[in-house]
Structure formats: structure tokens, C-alpha cells
Structure 1
Amino acid sequence: MGAVRQNQTATLTASRWREQLVIEQEIDLRIAEALGGRRNQLSFVAELTSVWHAMVDGFDQLVTVLADVEKADPTDNGVARLLHGTGDGMNRVDGLRLRIAAAQLQLDAVSARVHRDTVNIGVVGATKVGKSTLLRTVTDLPVTVIPTTQFNPTTASASRIYHTAGEPTATLDLHTWQSFRDSYLAPLHEAAGLGPVPADAATFTDHRYPAPGSAAAGATEADDYLRKLDAAHRSFASYRHLLEGPARALVVDFAALRPYVAYPDLDAGDPADVQPFHAVRSVRVEKAFVERSVSKLGLIDLPGAGEAGLDIDRHFLARVKNEIDLLLMVKRGDRRSATYVAEDAYARNLADSARGGVALDDYYMVLVNRDEANDPTGEYFENTVKKVTEVSRERGIRVLAADVIRRDEVFAEVVRPVLVHLAGRLAEMDRAAVRQALALATEVAGEVTTYAEDALRTARERALLLPDQEDEFRDLAEELRDDLAHDLAVLVDHYDGDLADGAADAALSAAISDAVDVARGWVRDGLGRGSRDQWMKEIKGRYVAGSLEAKQDQYYRAKTEITEIFSRIDVSLERSVRRLWEDVAQVLRGRLTDDLVPPGPAALDELRSTAESRRALILADALRQLRQLKADYGSVVLRVTRPVIRGVHWDRVPSVGTAVPAVSAQRATPAQARATTAAPAPAGSRWVRNADGSLRRGSAPVSDPAPRTPPPPVAAVDPATTRAPVTAVGGREEESAKRGAEVLYDELSAAVERCVTDLETALREEGRVMSRTLAAAADRFFDSVIRTNRSERDYEYLCRPNQRSIWPDKFDGGTALLAADLSRAQEQARLALAATAAVTGLFAGLRLRPLTEPT
């Protein structure tokens, strides 16, 4: 019977193991699907982020312009109210900026969420509640990586622990001096009521802090903060070097990690003044977990709530909001925690502030840890579970219970329920976070819209009260157009002058000369092998093995080389077109100033964008046509060089009218090579082959070469084969291959030389075509922006907001200055309204088109 029971138990255990494996695989699959759905939100979130930043920039610029209006007219109460309010509370600008900052946090969080490819569980709790023990139980990490808090609390460094199938690693994200000063020292200084934080490391080293409990320390609540500052100051030498330079990462062995993540263990002999954890911003650990319930799992160990001066609210929101999919609060079920206490409400409120639109019952869970050592009967544990459950039920928050030191219990009662929950709810949680971010952005956009509308109305009403300077402005705009007409006409004349002289485009001509020299040098250089002899040495064996294959290979190599050499000409085409763009931009900048035509390669694009936004559509269209000149012209390589290079082919005999140099290119001087290549062929002459296989001009037909006595074959050879005939005498075979290779060398050299000559001729003509094209483009731009009917109105639309910088002598003081600033304010208000409309348009579109479901 005992054996039977053992077999039954084993069978049951195996069955449960298989069942559990199926469950884990199902969880893994469903979470992977949810993470895949996350990627479907990337494009939407990217678009939202883009239009949001455009709106914020538009608002900031509007406030700047309104400040300029106030300087020009401090008595304008309408503008003053827009900037400062009525004095009975926070002004509108500061209030809007606070709203923008809050929405920005949410947008940052949702952007980080959709880019995250892991499901992350954050673990938080007061010190000594079992949080570190829970993490060690799940990950099987040693205390050097996750220190115990039984006697000493851990530090403020958040540890990120990710499951991996690879080698375990620990990577420290280090502070710089600036981030250490701002995120660690500054909060402690403020909490202790001290003065400014030391500006640099040297000043911090020499600084003297008051001792806790001393008269200089002030109130008793400052003592905890002073003790921390004293510890950071005394141990500064142990971590100062880690703060030097830019932010960086440091990989540390698990055995050496403890000083970077916990306070010194004085009982174990750790030096009290060695505290490198101060330099650590966060820790990333990668290790295979004990039981792999899901492959994309991360655990985030958050700082304990017992840390004085660590500003846990800010740490929680800044470090957790962007990283956590679910927050798990650990609470110890002992005598002190047997009731629902303030720290429970505190943690729940923090979770509520960080969930970012996700339902609280999806985002937050509580784990009650049984403290068997201090509660052997489990009385306090059961009472704690009961009390916490009663309160949590109000918000639908789930309460878990387990002894965190027991691995089986932790996986059955904590890990698995959490993962099952995430497998079913993660996709909807992601969509809720995106919807919340969009809703908040839309809400703020509505407030910015109201502000921009008020600003536009105020600027218009104030402008109507100014003396009419419209006639003067229109005259100035017309004069500016006439001045530009002169400047552009000079530029067109310059390009027409090059065309009249018959000169090819300079940049293209220089590139053609370079390519021709390089190509002919390649021929003279033994077809790229250094010398004719070297080429012969390399080809001879291949020629014996198969003359046709060798010939085809060498022709292909030559075509590839010539194509590569002449393909560089397209770069010069880019330079020629860019030179025209720069010339036009310089002319426009001279009249319109850097404000409208900023220096740099994007000048014309920025001017076109401004012209479109200001309804100067004639100018905008002319700039668009000019900027697409390169695309309209196309590639010189494809249009001109490629058709010529195609003529270099192994089975094409040179045609009448071309010539092969009498002297091989390798042995001829450059002048000889050019002269022979360009020499005309005698009329009616044809190519004939000499007895040695070389080509010459003559009257005998190509198909009837001079007879030669072939070497006697040792065996019949298939006449269709491409291999050289095998002769009875090895010397004759070698000699025949040598003669064939020499013929191929001369033939290929002549073909390439002829190709280069044809390319040079065609490309020189192309250079003249390029000159005509540039001159025509300049003239077309001139006609469009100067001679088109009603083009003068474009300059009024374009220049009105910039009249102050374009005509400083007319609009840089008094009424004229105020008029110019009011015009800028109206334009910027319209731009801000367009930006807010883009944000609200996304929200309206989302109501018609729900967020993508996971695929």
C-alpha cells in the first residue's frame, strides 16, 4: 500500500507540475500579447508628444511677445492682466505653467510606458516589513545585492531587477556632482533649515555642518537630516571620484555590490566612512529568477518610507510614474500593524497620484507578510489581513497574504495572482494611461486656447487705438519688394553671364575633370593592378582555365570601377544646387534679416514655413519649387554616365569611327593616350586581326583573319566549349594564352579609354546644361516673387510681425514700436491657437477611432 500511495503521490505531483507549466505558459503568452499591443500605441503617443510640445512652445513665445508689448506700453491694463492677473491670487501665466508641468509628467510617463518592453512590478513599504526578503525569495539574489533591513535601512537607491536568461549582471547608474547636489543634498538642506547647498565638490569638502542636538542645529526635527548630511560629508572621499565627469554606468560584481546599495554594517566590520552608495542613482540587476513565470518581468525595489529627508513623494513620482505597471505595498502582520494605520493611507495616496489614469484596483495591491517569529499563533497576522481587507474593499483593492520567506507560498499566493491579473488587464491599463494623458493634454490645451483668444482680442483692440500707420507700412513693404527685385536681378544676371560665356557649371566641371583623370590613371596603372605585367601575371592562369570567363570578368570589373569613379559626380551636382540656394538665401537675408531667413542650410525651408503660416503663399510656393530643384534635375550618373558605360561590353567589337591606341595605355604617356584615343578612323577602314591576335586597321574582313597554323591537338575538343584548347606542347598552350591575354588587355584598355572620352564629352555638355538649369531656376524664382500679380501683398503679410527688426529706424520706438509688438502678439496668438487645435483634434479623433487593440 505504501508503494501505491507513493506512486499516486508522484503521479499527482507530476500532473500538478504539468498543469502549472501550462498555466505559466498561458500567462507568458497573454502578457507578451499585451506588450505587443503596447507597441501599437507608439505612433499615436509620438504624435501626441509632438503636437503637445508645439503647443507649449507656442504658449511660451506668446507670453514672451506679450512681455515685449508691456515694455512698450506699461499702461496697457489688458496686457498686464494677461501677464500678472488681478492681484487676488496666482496669475494666469503661472497657473497655466503649473498645469502644463503636471500634464508633461503624465505625457512623459505614458511615453515611457509604451516604449517599455517589460511588465514591471514595483515593491514599496516601510523599513523592516519584509520587502527585501520578498525580492530575494523571488529572485534568489544574495544579501549583497538586496541587503536586509532587519538592523539597518537600505538607501534611497531604487533597484531594478529584470529576469534574463543570460549572464547575471549588476549595473550602477551613477550621479554626477550636480545631480547628487540637487537630488540628495538640496532636500536635506531645505528640511534642516540650512542655507544654500555647496556649489561644487571642493566647497562641500570644506563645508562645516552643525552637529545634531547643538544650539546651531536649531529645532529637534532637523537632527535626522543633519545626521544624514554629516554621514555624506564624512564619507565624501569614498565616492567623490564616482561623481566626476558626465553621467555614467558602472558594472559591479554581485559580491562587491553591497556598499553601493546599503549603509555600512558596522557589526560586520565595515568602515563607517566608506559609503559609496551616495553616488548611486539607481541599480539595474539582470538575473534568471527562481521560477520563470513570465519572460518579460521586472521588479522595482523602491526606497523605504523610513528614510529621513529623502522626499519620498518626489522620489516615488519621479522614479515610479514612468516605470511601474503595478505597485505592491508590503505590510507586516504584527502587533504594531494589526490595524489600518497612517502609513497604509499614505502609500495608497501615493499610488493614487502615480497611477496615471489606470484604475486604482488595477494598479495597486497590498501584501500582508506574516511575521512568524514575532507572531507564532498568527493572531496579529490574521487580524491585520482582516482590517486591511475591510478598508481596501472600499476601493476594490486586492489584499494578498503570505509568509515572504517561503518560496512556494510566495509564488502561489503572490507572484502568480499578480501575473494573472496583469495578463488579463495590462492591455486595458495601457489604453487607460494613454486616454488619461490625452484627456489631460486636451484640458490644458483648452485653457491655453482661452488664454490665446484673450491675447488675440486684447492685441487687436489695443492696435485699433493706435494712430494709423498702415499706409507707411505698405509703402515700406513695396519698397522692400523693389529692393529685392534689384538684388535678385543681379543674382540672375550673374548666372546668365556664366551661361552666355558658354561656361559649364564650375563645381560639375571640376568633378568631371577629377573623374576623367582618375579613370585614365586607372587604365595607365595596369587596369588597376599597378602595371601591365602585373595584370598579365594575374590573368594568365584564369585565361588558360577559360578565356571567355576571364574576358567577361575583366570587362565587368572595368565597368564597375568606371561606374564607381564617375558616380562621385552626383555629389558635385548637390554642391551646385546648394550654392544656388545659399545665394538666394543670402539675397533674401540681406533685406528680410536673420529673423526671417536664419543662417544655416535650412534657411529657405524655415522662411517657406513662416510664409505659409502668414498667408504669403506666392513666396511660399516659389521657395518650394526652388527647394525641389535637386529632385527635378535627377541623377547625372543615371541619366548621362550609365548609358555610356553600358557600351563597355565583352562581345561588342569596336565600331567604325573609334580607334584603339597604337601604343598600349600602360606604356603610353598621358598625352599619347589622349591623342590616340581621340584620333579619327580612316573612312571605310575596318578592324582586322593580325597573326599574333592583335587588332589593326585594314581592308580584310573581320570574319576572314590572316590564316594561322594551329598547334596539333592531343584530343578532340568540343568547339562550343569556352576553355582554351589543350595543346600537346605546354609551351605553345602558355604562349597562346599569353597572346590572348595581351589582346584582351589592349582591347579592354581601348574600350575604357574610349568610354572615358565619350563620358567626358557627354558630361561637359551636361555641365553647360546645369548652368542653363541654374540660371533658369534663378529666373523662375525672380519672376514668381517679384513679377507675379499681387506679390506685394505677400511682403506685407510676411513682414508685418517682423517690421521692428526689418525697419528699426521706423518701428523701434514709440507708437511704431508698440504697433510692431502688437502685430507680433496677434500672429503668435494665432500660432498658439493652431497648436492647441492640433492637440484637441487628436482627442476628437480618438472618440471616433478607439486606441488600437493588441494584435
Structure 2
Amino acid sequence: MEHSEAQRKITAILHSRKEQLAKVEKEIEQWKKLDRQISALEEAIETLKTHPETSESLKRNFSGFHIEQIDSNIAETLKNLNQIKARFSRNTLNIGVSGRARVGKSTLLQAISGLGDEQIPTGSGLPVTAVRSRIFHSEQQHRATLILHTYASFRQDVLQPYHTELGLPQAPQRLEDFSQYAYPPSERELPESKRQESSAITILRRLREMQLALPSYEQDLTGGEKTVSLDELRQYVAYPTATQIEAGENDRRYLAVRDVRIECQFPYAQVEQLGIIDLPGLGELAANAEEYHLSGLQNEVDLVLMVKRPVEGMAYWGKEDGAAADLLDKARGFIKNRRDFVSLVLNTGGATESLITALRGDVLRNVNDGEPNRHYQVYETNALKQEAVYEQVLHPVLRHLAERLPVMDAEILEGTRSRYRATQEQIQQFLDDVENALRTGRTHAPTASAAEDLYKRTGEMHKNIASELHNFLLELKKQARAKEEDNRYVEAVECAYQSAKSWIDAGFGKGKEAWCQDALKIMKADKGSGGFGIHESNRIRVEISHKFAEIDGYFQQSTDGLWARILDILRPHLGRLLAEQEGKAALEQLEKLLHEAPEPCTVLASATRDLLDLRLDYRTQLHPRVRQSLDALEWEYDDPENPQVQKVRYACRPDEEGAGQLFLEMTALARQAIYSAKKALIGEALAPALVIHATVEQFDDAFIRSGESLTHFHRLARSYRDDIWPGIFAGLEAANTRIANVQSAAKAIRETLSQ
């Protein structure tokens, strides 16, 4: 494949990734949403499970529920999707270069990038490169951008792994604390389990060196980015040389650098959107080295070149190489074929032919099972020669990527989605278990919804009030139709009669002598009895009428008794709604509450008002009867034989004898009138009972059986639910809310899964 064709395909691959990126980002958001919803469900279940009012059956059903594995699987899914996002977000195709120290990895990087020792240090003996470098082909830029640690990230990514490896306490929280931290002077003072590890000596020494070198890099622990020229890059990316160490120099600025991005023009492989990633740390004896190496492999590269060099003692596939291959297999993830993701580069520069032959044969036998390129594509080149590296390694690798990257991308996507489909099924099963736990738990301890319970309670209230009103009406009907005198009414009439009689017998409230004296004076002044007779007869009629009006006490008691009885029927069914009122005031308060309810209950309010409007009193009910009896006291009256003639009730002389006779005559007439009134009133003994029965019957019809009565009962219940049934619905709704929260959380998860 020609260079231009590879460039075209690589550009198409990167464009295709960008097109798929939006979908991957949407999947990430959905899984994040699902993660939050799973946490919400877990919290809702825990609240339900631990609440003291939750039924024992529900507690038992949820006692064995564990969600930790689902949480772990979701976290793994998000990790995989974010790696795909990082892969598809890149604007470059990245080739990682990995290998142990002294195999020519840095030399190979120099050959590809055209950089020198000041940018990609090489050396012999000790490892040289300390920082992961990302090198990108650019015809416009020629610079390095350092991504710097803060102390917090330095503590987490660098210090803490060393502390963990040595069994030491948590790394110091502050830079000042780190500078003064008392590290063990030797491995003998480490925890017992660590003293026996030979690597502990080296790791402890490096940790102490970091502390001693702090002055050289603490000024760079600022976070952010720092741009430097390529000529001054080495001090930020390389370990001290042996010469520097022997000279006592301790400059370790690389410790402040998390990463470095280098932009320069590649001499041969001038493919746009090409990046070469230096992956240091493989095989190094340093805390967290392999994890650091693995994170770079998973997040940064599309293919890895694993460099081997046939030098004395390393011209074979050894244990360390196998461990490195295992690490690369782990980084490969869902890519099915090793040879798609990893290629071996045998760096033959400066090696003898015998060692080259030995390494070549060992790789063929022990790595590729005797079949060339079976598991790993193997390239041979002299890393010291730029053109050879391009022709023998980079150009064929680019051709391979142009062909196989779409396949690898598809495998990664499918592998990730296959894994998370299994997690989806696990979640679906968990939701089924949750719903089954709720269903069977509530079978043993049913809990109606608050709305259902309110509806049921309202119906019961309506029926109970109706039943009690019906029983009361039967009592009233029996009284009204029994044709038996109401003893209380008869007593009230008799009491009024005796009051009137006592007043008459007491000389019409004056005494006989005083009355007669007044009569005589007026008759003498008027020269006749007519004026006094008219005036006094009128006064007597009015006073007798007032005496019989005392029956109103009975009527008031009857009315109050009726209202109290109605209240006794209603109050037990209305909770604390009328707790502070009595009698008429309570019914007036009920009418007001019915009118002012959030859902006005006008039918019930109108029925209550009609009941309160009952008028049962002497003047309304009985006064006409008494007035008829009092006509006998009128001084002048029509002649029965000649209606055109007015006759005088009694005439007498204006002297003492006449006054005495007038007193006797008027006393007799008054006694006759009150007796007649008493008989008339006793004849009306059934009227109050009939009125009360009719009033309650009308109230019962309007309050209980009118077309909208039950509807307005439900309005009443909804409006004053917590006053009528205090405490009932707070607990019920709380219990139902706990169950509803679980159901709602489960429903939300199902909806998200369906998307």
C-alpha cells in the first residue's frame, strides 16, 4: 500500500471514529444515569428495609439483596466506554513504543521522530526516560508542552504507591509535611512483611531520593501546562545520569511532570495525525510501574511496538518478556488477535549475527509456535538508521493499521457492549427480584394506597352517618305519630298557665287593694269605667301572652337538643374537625368549613344551614292559639246578634263598690282566658314533634341521599383528611412512599435500560 493510500485510510478511520463518538458519549451518559438510578434504588431499598414500620415479610424479602456486583459491573462498563471515548476522541493515530531498558527503545523513537538525546535521552546501564512522552508529527510546531503535577496529584500518583508498596502510613497530605517526613533509614525498620522483599531496599531508596530532591522540583508542582523549547526538555523527562549521581547532583524535575507532549516534524513518516507514544516503566523496579504502563497502553495507543534487542543475556524470550506480553494482553482488552494490537521489533543495531539468529529463532519457536507471525508480527530493523526504521517498521505498521483499525474498533465496541448487555440482563433480573419482593411482601402485609384508603374510609363514614341518622329519624317518627302528649311540653304549658294564674291571683301583679285604688282614681277622673277597662284589658292580655311565652324555654331546649343530637351523630366521624365547639356553634363552624373547604362541599353546607334555620318558638308556633283565647278579655266586642253594634264587656259605677266588682269580673275573665289558652296549647302537643321530625327528615335527605351527597363527602374527606383521621394518612403515606420510592426507582431504571 502506498503512503498516500495509507494516509487516506487513516484519515477515514479517524473521521469514522468521530462519527461514532457521539453515540459512545450518549451511552456513557446513559450508564452514568443508570449508575445514579441504581444508587437511588439501593438507598430506597435500604430505607424501606430498615424502617421500624416496614412489615417483617418485606424486611425478610429484602434481607438478602446485594447490589455490589452490579455497582462493580457498571463501574467497569463506564471504564471501558470512557476508554473508547478517549480512543475515538483522539485526532491522531497513536503507536506506542514499549520495552525494557537497554533494548534501544529511545533510539527507535529518535529514528521515527528525528529528535535527539536532548529530547529523547538514550544511554547505557541505568534507565534513562522517566516521563511518558507523546510525540506528534507537525509541520508547524516545534515545541514541548509539559503537563505538571500539583502536590495533590503528585501525592496520589507518585508518593502513595510507594507508601503502599512499603507498608507505610498514608502519604503526607501537605508538601511541607512531606519535606519533613521521617522515612525509615533502612528496610530493617519497615513492617515485618516488607523486610523480606528484596525490592523494598530499592523502593525505599527511591522514596528517600524523591524527598531529598524536593527543592529541585517543588517550584514546578503547580499544575497546568508549561511550554519549553525542545533544547531544554531533557531535564524534565530524564533520570539523572550515573555521572550526575556520582557528582552528588540531585536534580529530579521529572517528578513534577505528569506527561509531556512533543510536536516536531518527522523525517520520513510524515503522515498527518500520527503520534508516537513513549511508554517508560516496563520492567522497572518502581512502585506502580506496571499500572502506570498499563494505563498508557489502554488510553493512548492503537498499536504497541514491543522492542527486543539481541544482546548478551537478552537474546531470548525470557520471563520478563512473557510478563510484558501478559501486560499487553491485558491492555488489548476486547481486540481478538494479539498480532493486531502488538508487534515485535527486533532491534539489530550493533548486534552480532549469531545473537540476532538466536533471538529470531527463539521468538519463532517460543512466541509464534514455529509459524512466522502467527501470534505477533515480527519486524527487524537497525534502530540507528532512520530510513531503515521507516521502511522496515513504520511503513508496514501504518499499512497494517489502515487495514485492521476498523476491525479493532468494532471488536472493542462489540466486546464492551456484549459485556454491558450481560450487566443489563443482571440489572433486569435484579429489578424482577425487587418487584417480586414487594409483591409477596405486600401479600402478607397489604398496604392500600392513601387514595384507596381515603376512598374506602369516606364511604364508611357516609354509611355510618346515614345509619345513625336513620335510627334517629325512627325515634322522631315514633314520637311524632304516637298521638301521645309530650310530657315536657305539657309541663311547659302547665308551668306557663300557673305563672299566669299566679299573676292574676296576685291582683294582676299589683295586689287587689292597689289595683282597686288605681281603678277608682281613673274611673273618677274619667267619670266612667270605659277608659280604665280598655287600658287594663289590653295590659292583662299582653302580660298573659308574655307568661305563655315562657314556653320558649321548652322550645329552645328542644332545638338545642336536636342540634346536640345531630352533632353527636356527626362528631365521632369528623375526628378533630369540630373538637373545640359545642351545639349550634359547632354546626355553624361545620357549615363554614364546608363552604371554605379547598374543594367546597356546598350540598352538605346547604343542608347544615337549613337545619340551623329551624325556628321552633312560642310566637311562631303557638301565639295565634293563645291570642284566640285572649279575645274574651277585649273590653269592647261585636254584638253576636248585630255585628254593627259594639258592646262593652262590663260597665260599673266609678266608686269603691264598682271598682271591686270590676276587679272580680276581670279576674274571672282572665282566669277563663288562660284556662282556654292552656286547653288550646295542650291540643297542639304533637306540633313540635312533627316540626322536628320534618326538619331532620329534610336534613337527612339533603345531607345523605341527595344526588351529589356522596361526591361532596369525598370532597370533605380530601379537604380535611388529616383532621378527620389524624395521624392515619401521615403514617400510611410514609409507608406507601417508602414502597413507592422503590417502585419509582425500579421503573426509572427500566426506562433507562429500554433506551
TM-score interval (norm. to shorter): 0.5 to 0.7
Distance in 1 (alpha carbons) for counterparts of 2:232 and 2:148? 16
Task: Measure how far apart 1:203 and its partner are.
Answer: 1.5
* Structure 2 counterpart of 1:203: 177
* Structure 1 counterpart of 2:225: 249
Q: Would the aligned equivalents of 1:154 and 1:303 in 2 still touch at CA under 8 Å?
A: no
Deviations 1:170-219 (A, max 9, x none): 01111121211111111111111111211221211121111234344751
Q: Would the aligned equivalents of 2:130 and 2:239 in 1 still touch at CA under 8 Å?
A: no
Task: Measure how far apart 1:134 and its partner are.
Answer: 0.5
Pairing 1:261–2:237 present = yes
* Structure 2 counterpart of 1:33: 12
The gaps in structure 2 that reach 5 residues or longer are: 459-710
* Structure 2 counterpart of 1:353: 330
Deviations 1:140-161 (A, max 9, x none): 1121211115232135521110
Task: Measure how far apart 1:835 and its partner are.
Answer: 1.6
The gaps in structure 1 that reach 5 residues or longer are: 1-21, 86-91, 480-788, 797-802, 839-855
Q: Would the aligned equivalents of 1:96 and 1:447 in 2 still touch at CA under 8 Å?
A: yes
Pairing 1:316–2:293 present = yes
Distance in 2 (alpha carbons) for counterparts of 1:312 and 1:374? 32
Distance in 2 (alpha carbons) for counterparts of 1:121 and 1:302? 10
Q: 1:808 to 1:248 in 2, by over 3 A?
A: farther
Task: Measure how far apart 1:251 and its partner are.
Answer: 0.8
Q: 1:434 to 1:266 in 2, by over 3 A?
A: same
Determine which of 281, 303, 322 is the counterpart of 2:280. Answer: 303
Q: Would the aligned equivalents of 1:333 and 1:384 in 2 still touch at CA under 8 Å?
A: no
Distance in 1 (alpha carbons) for counterparts of 2:306 and 2:131? 18
Task: Measure how far apart 1:816 and its partner are.
Answer: 5.8
* Structure 1 counterpart of 2:390: 411
Pairing 1:238–2:212 present = no
Distance in 1 (alpha carbons) for counterparts of 2:98 and 2:313? 18
Q: Would the aligned equivalents of 1:144 and 1:254 in 2 still touch at CA under 8 Å?
A: yes
Counterpart secondary structure, 1:41: helix
Task: Measure how far apart 1:429 and its partner are.
Answer: 1.9
Q: 1:65 to 1:386 in 2, by over 3 A?
A: same
Q: TM-score, normalised by structure 2?
A: 0.59
Distance in 1 (alpha carbons) for counterparts of 2:270 and 2:248? 40
Distance in 2 (alpha carbons) for counterparts of 1:825 and 1:96? 17
Task: Measure how far apart 1:66 and its partner are.
Answer: 1.1
Determine which of 74, 87, 104 is the counterpart of 1:130. Answer: 104
Q: Would the aligned equivalents of 2:316 and 2:358 in 1 still touch at CA under 8 Å?
A: no
Q: Would the aligned equivalents of 1:63 and 1:83 in 2 still touch at CA under 8 Å?
A: no
Q: 1:224 to 1:267 in 2, by over 3 A?
A: same
Task: Measure how far apart 1:349 and its partner are.
Answer: 2.0
Q: 1:382 to 1:434 in 2, by over 3 A?
A: closer
* Structure 1 counterpart of 2:168: 194
Q: Would the aligned equivalents of 1:162 and 1:286 in 2 still touch at CA under 8 Å?
A: yes
Distance in 1 (alpha carbons) for counterparts of 2:726 and 2:109? 68
Task: Measure how far apart 1:166 and its partner are.
Answer: 0.9
Counterpart secondary structure, 2:2: helix
Q: Would the aligned equivalents of 1:340 and 1:387 in 2 still touch at CA under 8 Å?
A: no
* Structure 2 counterpart of 1:334: 311
Task: Measure how far apart 1:223 and its partner are.
Answer: 1.3
Q: 1:291 to 1:834 in 2, by over 3 A?
A: same
Task: Measure how far apart 1:477 and its partner are.
Answer: 14
Counterpart secondary structure, 1:421: helix
Task: Measure how far apart 1:84 and its partner are.
Answer: 5.7
Counterpart secondary structure, 1:340: coil
Distance in 2 (alpha carbons) for counterparts of 1:410 and 1:116? 25
Q: 1:419 to 1:76 in 2, by over 3 A?
A: farther
Aligned length: 487
Task: Measure how far apart 1:49 and its partner are.
Answer: 2.0
Distance in 2 (alpha carbons) for counterparts of 1:95 and 1:45? 23
Distance in 2 (alpha carbons) for counterparts of 1:345 and 1:450? 40
Task: Measure how far apart 1:392 and its partner are.
Answer: 8.3
Q: Would the aligned equivalents of 1:172 and 1:283 in 2 still touch at CA under 8 Å?
A: yes
Q: Would the aligned equivalents of 1:446 and 1:836 in 2 still touch at CA under 8 Å?
A: no
Q: Would the aligned equivalents of 2:80 and 2:416 in 1 still touch at CA under 8 Å?
A: yes
Q: Would the aligned equivalents of 1:125 and 1:330 in 2 still touch at CA under 8 Å?
A: yes
* Structure 2 counterpart of 1:822: 739
Deviations 1:640-669 (A, max 9, x none): xxxxxxxxxxxxxxxxxxxxxxxxxxxxxx
Q: Would the aligned equivalents of 1:188 and 1:310 in 2 still touch at CA under 8 Å?
A: yes
Q: TM-score, normalised by structure 1?
A: 0.53
Counterpart secondary structure, 1:298: strand
Task: Measure how far apart 1:281 and its partner are.
Answer: 0.8
Task: Measure how far apart 1:837 and its partner are.
Answer: 2.3
Deviations 1:522-566 (A, max 9, x none): xxxxxxxxxxxxxxxxxxxxxxxxxxxxxxxxxxxxxxxxxxxxx
Distance in 2 (alpha carbons) for counterparts of 1:321 and 1:279? 23
Distance in 2 (alpha carbons) for counterparts of 1:365 and 1:379? 18
Q: 1:152 to 1:287 in 2, by over 3 A?
A: same
Q: Would the aligned equivalents of 1:334 and 1:371 in 2 still touch at CA under 8 Å?
A: no
Q: 1:121 to 1:78 in 2, by over 3 A?
A: farther
The 5-angstrom pairing of residues 508-547 of structure 1 reads none
The 5-angstrom pairing of residues 608-623 of structure 1 reads none
Task: Measure how far apart 1:388 and its partner are.
Answer: 5.2
AA at the equivalent of 2:142 = P
The 5-angstrom pairing of residues 71-150 of structure 1 reads 71-73=50-52, 92-150=66-124
Q: 1:324 to 1:78 in 2, by over 3 A?
A: farther
Pairing 1:461–2:378 present = no
* Structure 1 counterpart of 2:253: 276
Distance in 2 (alpha carbons) for counterparts of 1:103 and 1:249? 31
The 5-angstrom pairing of residues 497-508 of structure 1 reads none
Q: Would the aligned equivalents of 1:388 and 1:399 in 2 still touch at CA under 8 Å?
A: no
Deviations 1:544-590 (A, max 9, x none): xxxxxxxxxxxxxxxxxxxxxxxxxxxxxxxxxxxxxxxxxxxxxxx
Task: Measure how far apart 1:364 and its partner are.
Answer: 1.2
Relative contact order higher in (CA < 8 Å, ≥ 6 apart): 1
Q: 1:220 to 1:231 in 2, by over 3 A?
A: farther
AA at the equivalent of 2:739 = L
Counterpart secondary structure, 2:368: helix
AA at the equivalent of 2:186 = P
* Structure 1 counterpart of 2:679: none
The 5-angstrom pairing of residues 789-804 of structure 1 reads none
Counterpart secondary structure, 1:127: coil
* Structure 2 counterpart of 1:727: none
Counterpart secondary structure, 2:120: coil
Q: Would the aligned equivalents of 2:244 and 2:250 in 1 still touch at CA under 8 Å?
A: no
Deviations 1:292-326 (A, max 9, x none): 34211101111222332332342233232122111
Distance in 2 (alpha carbons) for counterparts of 1:203 and 1:283? 28
Counterpart secondary structure, 2:304: strand
* Structure 1 counterpart of 2:658: none
Distance in 2 (alpha carbons) for counterparts of 1:203 and 1:375? 55
Distance in 2 (alpha carbons) for counterparts of 1:54 and 1:308? 41
AA at the equivalent of 2:443 = L
Distance in 1 (alpha carbons) for counterparts of 2:114 and 2:85? 32
Determine which of 382, 398, 404 is the counterpart of 2:377. Answer: 398
* Structure 1 counterpart of 2:523: none
AA at the equivalent of 1:418 = V
Q: 1:320 to 1:129 in 2, by over 3 A?
A: same
Distance in 1 (alpha carbons) for counterparts of 2:390 and 2:233? 27
The 5-angstrom pairing of residues 583-602 of structure 1 reads none
AA at the equivalent of 1:827 = S
Determine which structure has more spread, i.e. the larger CA radius of gyration. Answer: 2
Task: Measure how far apart 1:116 and its partner are.
Answer: 1.4
